[in-house]
Structure 1
Amino acid sequence: MKHLPKKREAVVEGQKLTYTMVGQGAPAIVLLNGAGGPLEGWYRLYPEIEKLGTVVAYDRPGVGGSPRPLEPQTGHTVVRTLWNLLRELGVKPPYVLVGHSFGGLHANLFARLYPNDVAGVVFLEAAAPDDIGMMKTHQSTAQRIVNGMLNLFSRPDPNDEVSNEQQTVTQLNAAAAFPNVPLCVISGGKTPPGWMSSPQALQLRAQHQDALARLSPRGHQIIASGSGHFPQMTEPGVVIQAIENVVKAARAESQSPSHQRTPASIG
């Protein structure tokens, strides 16, 4: 992880957050981790990603170097905190959001709540709203046993984002439409072992990935054939290229004479 940027700390609304920020240029690229995933999970994208512009990664409350959350981490809370963190760091919009796994829910909601502050989105093996609940319904017996054992040794924090996932989905479903921005969905092409996912769950998951790509008329899907759930680890070049394409599309739009952007309001 020698190329991982130096960690720093910021305080937003009394909540201490660990983050990294490197590179220069707009639009800024904002990396949103999956549930429980620290910012170190992006290390294979560095230093190449720094060539694309300003890059911000951070640990949400209760993850990595950030202390436990002070309030329930619903989608609205997570998005508001991120918006305020970027303002605190002086990172001006618009942003290209890159959301991995559970972080895809937050990128999705951010784009809907602050559409004027979003220049593009990359969903990286991202969770779709319909995935929440469905995955539990179609859990295999082995998964239920493993999850039950994990809960015995590590009690969930009632304030963490997974404990509040249903409220996040409700907030997403009630939010405005996804904006018309460049959108790329990267889905892992490798099929997980049978004990991890049922055929029904895999089929629904594939349908949900396709639906994410159709959120924007400018959306498309890429299958990372050599990857499972972590293309940023197994095929970083594919992820870098996808981010670069979205950044280029966003820059071209910002230079268009007809392009206008109005300030977003704080919710």
Structure 2
Amino acid sequence: MQQHAADSLGLLPPIRALQTRQGRLGYMVSGKGPSTILLFSGAGMSLMGWEPLYPQVEQLGTVFGWNRFGMQGSDPPQERQTGPVVIGSLRELIGYVGLEAPYILVAHSLGGLFANLFARLYPEEIAGVLFLEATHPADHALLKKHESHLTRALARMLALPQVLFKPNLQTELACVADTVREIEAAGPFPPVPLTVVTGGLTPRSWLMSPGAVGARRAHQQELVRLSPLGEQVIAQKSGHFPQMTEPDLVLRVLAELVAIS
């Protein structure tokens, strides 16, 4: 079920839909090669957030992404979107599509929590992990405190009205504490190649206080230490969306990860 590479820069492959037990989910799959790359979007982010990586990312392997429940092309959620629920629907979907392990997980923002849990629950299926400004389990208090600021930042970055992503954002943020507990109860993170890309730009004061910025940067370093093969890359020209502001850097780092995984 692979697609040919997109014909022009930044053009996503066709988005399809499949009926799962919880409802219809929109997804895309394209590229070719021995690696299977799974894209985990942040809360409130649709597949459009990965556009700057296309079509080059398709040269690195078979690339799969999906819109979680509540985003465009996917049905509204029928139950609370905790980690096991999100991962369960993902595994059902990739089973229907026919993707096979091992996987390289590429996760942005809140998608990092889901990828973190996925890697712990199914360590034998993981070849490598790329965290892009990923949420650390200890970030959940910051997320709740700055929810309104995050909504404004997303609306500005994506140039979209809040009505298109705010319901998904609120639904997933409401389950963060549950997902964090599930991560803590799961097994250890696998000792696989791990790269943490952290934005080098300091968020504006209206978005995050200096104290919160310092805590989050320390948490990014803790993510690196999840694996003995972990390393950190600073995206000097980026804030919270390195895949959009420095796609060439993200593609280079992902290519390096694919090569050693």
TM-score range, shorter chain: 0.7 to 0.9
| Alignment partner of 1:201 out of 184, 200, 212 | 212
Shift of residue 11, structure 1, vs aligned partner: 1.7
The letter of the residue matching 2:183 is: L
What CA distance in whole angstroms lies between the structure 2 residues aligned with 1:34 and 1:136?
Answer: 15
Equivalent residues in 2 for 1:67-216, closer than 5 Å: 67-136=75-144, 139=146, 143=149, 160-216=171-227
Q: Is the 8 A contact 2:42 2:109 kept in 1?
A: yes
Question: Which piece of structure 1 moves more, 128-137 or 182-191?
Answer: 128-137
User: Pick from 3, 6, 25: which aligns with 2:14?
Assistant: 6
Q: Structure 1 pair 172/213, CA: closer, same or farther in 2 (3 Å)?
A: same
* Alpha-carbon distance, 1:15 to partner: 1.7
The answer to whether 1:25 aligns with 2:33 is: yes
Structure 1's consecutive aligned runs of 4 or more residues displaced over 6 angstroms after TM superposition are none
Q: Is 2:49 aligned against 1:38?
A: no
CA deviation map 1:41-65 (0-9, x unaligned): 0000000000000000110000121
Contact 1:135/1:201 (8 A) holds in 2: no
Deviations 1:182-221 (A, max 9, x none): 0000000001111211111001000000000110000000
After superposition, the C-alpha distances for 1:218-252 in whole angstroms (9 at most, x for unaligned) are 000000000001011110011111111111111xx
Q: Which one of 229, 239, 252 corresponds to residue 240 of structure 2?
A: 229
Superposition CA RMSD, Å: 2.6
In the aligned structure 2, how far is the partner of 1:37 from the partner of 1:155?
10
Task: Give the Å deviation of 1:143.
Answer: 4.5
State the AA in 2 paired with 1:106.
Answer: F
> Structure 2: how far apart are the matches of 1:57 and 1:50?
12
Cα pair 1:189 1:225 within 8 Å, conserved: yes
Query: 2:173, 2:76 → 1: CA distance?
Result: 13
The 1:119/1:173 distance shift into structure 2, 3 A limit, reads same
Are 1:218 and 2:226 an aligned pair? no
Secondary structure at the aligned position of 1:110 is classed as: helix
Q: 2:67 is matched by which residue type in structure 1?
A: D
Q: Which amino acid in structure 2 is aligned with residue 174 of structure 1?
A: A
Q: Secondary structure at the match of 1:160?
A: helix
The aligned residue for residue 260 of structure 1 is none
What is the percent sequence identity of the aligned residues? 44
Q: Following TM superposition, by how much is the alpha carbon of 1:158 offset from its aligned partner in structure 2, in angstroms?
A: 11
How many residues in Structure 1 have an aligned counterpart in Structure 2? 245
Q: Which amino acid aligns with 2:19?
A: V
Unpaired runs of 5+ residues, structure 1, are 251-267
**48, 53, 60: which one pairs with 2:61?**
53
Cα gap change, 1:174/1:249 in structure 2, threshold over 3 Å: closer, same or farther? same
